[in-house]
Chain A
Amino acid sequence: MNLQLLTLHHAVSAFLAYEAELLDGRDFHGWLDLFEEDGVYWVPTSRDQADMKNQVSIMAEDKALLGLRVERLGHPHAYSIEPYPATVHLVGNITVREENGQIVARSKLIVEELREDRPTRWGGSVTHTLRRRGDGFGIVLKRVDLIQAGGTFTPISIPL
């Protein structure tokens, strides 16, 4: 790995850790700001899912729609998250490559959620497509391929 790529890997890793920190700290507006204006948040229902139109998604949200989700997360009567669970987003196994002027980061994600003493765990592979923005990055696409996708779910009330 050359020094340039090493530096990029380090910067992207720090960015992903920062994103996880925003989510666990419930700074959802801060998280929304990480998305580019044309950014998309996508949790498909299967690993080989190619598009959002012909197959249903767990979440398939552009910034406007994600904005609605973030607003609701702050609502005092959003019962599925009242009380809001304690969460840990753990990001690891990060690989980074640059192609066509965009940065593609792949990582593994485990989310531990604890609500009223009841634990829930989500896990999967994440692909971030990033664009350089000032000193940092903006999210063009965050795709979360859950190992639970296609199975029998309990509600997913938090952003993954």
Chain B
Amino acid sequence: MNDQPGNFNIDIADVARDEGMGARAYTDPVIFDLEMERIFRRAWIFVGHESQVRKPGDFCRTRMGVDEVLLVRQQDGSLRVLSNACTHRGTRLCAGSSGSAISFVCPYHAWAFGLDGKLKFVPDVQSYPASFTISDPSLGLKSAPRVESYRGFVFASLAPDGPALTDFLGPMTDAIDNLVDRAPGGEIEIAGGSFRVRYPGNWKLHHENANDTVHPSFVHESSVSTANKSKVDPDPRLIDRGQTKGMMASNGLTPKDWNAIELNGMAQGHSFMGGFYKAGLLSRQTEDEVMRTYREALEATHGVQKAADILGMDRFNNLVWPTLNVNAQFHQIRVVHPVSVNETILEGYCFRLAGAPDEIFHRAVRFLGALVSPASMIFSDDLEIFGRVQRGLESGVLPRLDSRRGIEKDAPAGEDCSYRSTTSSELPIRSQLRAWREWMIAQ
């Protein structure tokens, strides 16, 4: 890792102006490398959920930017994040996506590492010079200096110093709290499978799109109008009880709706949408038998008032910059993994809530399928647009993207340095841009 990538002769402040990001931030491999150095090897990056690594030895392979890492449960119950590359010749250690191990043995020359990453065994060690000692810490797998869990959500930072996790998360802890508090049994677990989908575009395009309230009416027109014309009733005999149709129709926002949604953006780059229930854009779900049973279970845990507050949280698409999206209502998360300047992998997961009826989990599974499946009638249009943005930007015609919508109405909204806009606005994009600028400039 290079601590002083001083050879990048780029004026970051000029690339990232409030009114819009310079196009090269999406197309220049040099900027991408700098992002890996200054954002992905420093900031808190989401690396998994504790339910994926329950027992000592359980591991899960993931990425922090372009660095492949293993989230590993230690013998003492703590968590470590280790580089997935052997210190001998750099060979990838684990090819499987998850599993349980007592040590990590390289397939090439059988160098063996403990769960803590320390080198334990090298064949033919007597042939090495005296200066080579197995206990040398630099021969161990690189281990993230900071790993912390916030209520089961595990984040790691490859920098020894930096903001504390809760300061970094700021008001986004509320979204994680809300998701966990929705479980009457107090615990949630990743379950039901997941999706991994690749798109030919820069990683920033995903979060910039997620809380953009104007695009759904246009990008998703084909699914909105199909749903609106359909005569399918939310019949309980249907596989999904009409859930998919409802999701498709919900993107049909009007200009009046764009201005009713509250947008919240934070200095840390996070954002969320609010005001859907308040403005009547979404009606609170009519309570069916399943929801009633679930609500009663939640009331038994939290009491009537708190249960109502938890279920009534009016926040959607809680984007934790730079890579996580928490959709607490639907028990979902999405994770962004940059691969190269013009290639990104998205992962989608859903949760099972302890103590909730099975049907609540079935709905979360169905939601994940309808929204993040590669065959999603909604998501596939977003992915297509990301690819088209990338192609347009790579043509080099546009020097700077325009993010000025609502820029004069960004109003400070509280002591947590967040901004709120109650008009149609690209505030979430500007929040991400400002955080990007700050991390990219900091030496």
Which residues of A approach B to under 8 Å, CB–CB? Answer: 40, 43, 45-46, 52-62, 64-65, 67-69, 71-72, 75-80, 151-157
B145 within 8 A of A: no
Our pick among B192, B239, B375 for the contact of A55 (Cβ within 8 Å) is B192
- 15 A-B pairs with CB atoms under 8 Å apart are A56-B194, A57-B369, A58-B374, A58-B375, A64-B238, A67-B230, A77-B222, A79-B385, A80-B381, A152-B197, A153-B195, A154-B198, A154-B199, A155-B380, A156-B373
- For A61, the chain B residues whose CB sits under 8 A away are 239
User: Does A156 lie within 8 Å of B374, measured CB to CB?
Assistant: yes
A75 to chain B, nearest CB (A): 4
Complex formed: what's the CA distance from A109 to B225 in Å?
Answer: 32
Which residues from chain B contact A75 at a C-beta distance below 8 Å? 221-222, 225-226
Q: In the complex, which residues of chain B have a beta carbon less than 8 angstroms from the beta carbon of A57? A: 369, 373
Bound-complex Cα distance A78 to B362 (A): 28
Closest to B349 in A: A56
B227 touches A (CB below 8 Å): yes
| B383 interface residue per 8 A CB criterion | yes
B193: A residues at CB distance < 8 A: 45-46, 55-56
Label chain A's interface by main secondary structure: mixed
Contacts of B350 in A (CB 8 A): 56
Contact of B365 among A54, A59, A80 (CB under 8 A): A54
Please list the residues of chain B having a beta carbon within 8 angstroms of any beta carbon in chain A: 191-199, 219, 221-223, 225-227, 229-230, 232, 235, 238-240, 244-245, 248, 345, 350, 358, 361-362, 365, 368-369, 373-375, 377, 379-381, 383-385, 388
A79's contact among B222, B225, B365, B375, by CB below 8 Å, is which? B222
Query: B33: shortest Cβ distance to chain A, in Å?
Result: 22
Chain A residue nearest in CB terms to B372: A56
Residue of B nearest to A46 (CB): B193
| Minimum Cβ distance to chain A for residue B345 (Å) | 6
B345–A59 CB distance below 8 A: no
Nearest A residue (CB) for B373: A58
Q: Which of B191, B197, B374 has the most CB of A within 10 A?
A: B374
Complex interface: chain A residues within 8 A of B385 (CB): 79
Nearest first, the 5 closest Cβ-Cβ pairs linking A and B are A153-B374, A78-B222, A75-B222, A80-B380, A80-B384
Name the one of B238, B240, B373, B377 contacting A56, with C-beta atoms under 8 angstroms. B373
In the complex formed, the residue of B with least CB distance to A42 is B239
Known A58-B369, A153-B195: A72·B374 in contact at CB below 8 Å: no
Closest A residue, CB atoms, query B244:
A65
Contact of B345 among A52, A71, A152 (CB under 8 A): A152
B331 → chain A closest CB, angstroms: 12
